[in-house]
Amino acid sequence: MSVQEKSAAGKGAIAGAAGGDTIAAVSSGRGGAVAVIRLSGPAAGDVVLALAGRVPEPRRAVLARLRHPDSGEPLDQGLVLWFPAPRSATGEDMAELQIHGGRAVVAAVLGAVLAVPGTRPAQAGEFTRRAFLNGRMDLTEAEGLADLIGAETQAQRRLAFSHAFGHLGQRVEDWRHRLVRAMALVEAGIDFADEDDVPAEARALARPEVEALQRELAQALGDRRGAMVREGALIAIAGLPNAGKSSLINALAARDVAIVSDEPGTTRDLLEVSLDLDGHKVMLVDTAGLREAEGKVEAEGIRRARARIAEADLVLWVHDVAAGPAPDEAPEMEAPAELWLVGNKLDRGAGGESVAGRWAGRSFAVSARSGEGLDVLTRALGGFVTDRTAGGEHPALIRERHRASAAEASAHLGAALAGWEELDDALLAEELRLAARALGRMTGAIGVDDLLDVVFREFCIGK
Ligand X SMILES: Nc1nc2c(ncn2[C@@H]2O[C@H](COP(=O)(O)OP(=O)(O)OP(=O)(O)O)[C@@H](O)[C@H]2O)c(=O)[nH]1
Q: Give residues in contact with Mg ion (CB under 5 A).
A: 245-246, 266-267
Task: For residue 410, say whether it is annotated as part of any ligand binding site.
Answer: no
Distances (CA, A) of 336 to 236, 357, 384, 386, 451: 10, 17, 15, 19, 35
Q: Which does 398 bind (CB under 5 to 8 A by kind): Mg ion, ligand X, K ion, none?
A: none
Tell the smallest beta-carbon distance from residue 334 to ligand X (Å).
Answer: 19
Task: For residue 375, say whether it is annotated as part of any ligand binding site.
Answer: no
Determine the Cα–Cα distance for residues 172 and 175; give it in Å rounded to an integer: 5
Binding of K ion by 443 (CB under 5 A):
no
Tell the smallest beta-carbon distance from residue 348 to ligand X (Å).
Answer: 5
Binding of K ion by 344 (CB under 5 A):
no
Residue 326 or 368: the one with the smaller Cβ distance to ligand X is 368
Task: For residue 405, say whether it is annotated as part of any ligand binding site.
Answer: no
Residue type, 359: W
Question: What is the gyration radius of the CA atoms in the chain, in angstroms?
Answer: 29
Angle CA 338–234–329, to nearest 5: 30
- Residues 6 or more apart whose CB falls under 8 angstroms from that of 82 comprise 44, 45, 48, 55, 56, 57, 58, 59, 60, 94, 95
Q: Which does 369 bind (CB under 5 to 8 A by kind): K ion, Mg ion, ligand X, none?
A: ligand X
Task: For residue 296, say whether it is annotated as part of any ligand binding site.
Answer: no
Binding of K ion by 287 (CB under 5 A):
no
What residue is closest to ligand X based on CB?
289
| Piece in contact with K ion (CB under 5 A), picked from 149-157, 248-256, 262-270, 432-440 | 262-270
Size of residue set near K ion by CB under 5 A: 2
List the beta bridge partners of residue 352: none
List the beta bridge partners of residue 237: 286, 316
List 266, 344, 367, 443, residue binding K ion (CB under 5 A): 266
Task: For residue 155, say whether it is annotated as part of any ligand binding site.
Answer: no
- Applying CB under 6 A, the residues found at the interface with ligand X are 239, 241-247, 260-262, 264-267, 289, 344-345, 347-348, 367-369
Residue 275 or 288: the one with the smaller Cβ distance to Mg ion is 288
Residue 148 or 365: the one with the smaller Cβ distance to ligand X is 365
Binding of K ion by 214 (CB under 5 A):
no
Which positions from 225 through 244 interact with K ion, judged by CB under 5 A?
Answer: 242
Task: For residue 88, say whether it is annotated as part of any ligand binding site.
Answer: no
Tell the smallest beta-carbon distance from residue 293 to ligand X (Å).
Answer: 11
Q: Which does 342 bind (CB under 5 to 8 A by kind): ligand X, K ion, Mg ion, none?
A: none
Question: Please, are residues 350 and 376 in contact by the beta-carbon 8 Å criterion?
Answer: no
- Give the pairing of strands 363-365 and 339-344: parallel
Tell the smallest beta-carbon distance from residue 459 to ligand X (Å).
Answer: 39
Cis peptide before 86 (omega within 30 of 0): yes
- Residues 6 or more apart whose CB falls under 8 angstroms from that of 463 comprise 27, 124, 125, 127, 128, 145, 149
Tell the smallest beta-carbon distance from residue 262 to ligand X (Å).
Answer: 4
Task: For residue 120, say whether it is annotated as part of any ligand binding site.
Answer: no
Tell the smallest beta-carbon distance from residue 269 to ligand X (Å).
Answer: 10
Tell the smallest beta-carbon distance from residue 447 to K ion (Å).
Answer: 53
Tell the smallest beta-carbon distance from residue 246 to Mg ion (Å).
Answer: 3
Task: Indicate the annotated binding residues.
Answer: 38, 96, 136, 242-247, 261-267, 286-289, 367-369, 463
Task: Indicate the annotated binding residues for GTP.
Answer: 242-247, 261-267, 286-289, 367-369
Summarize as ranges the residues that interact with K ion (CB under 5 A): 242, 266
Task: Indicate the annotated binding residues for Mg(2+).
Answer: 246, 267
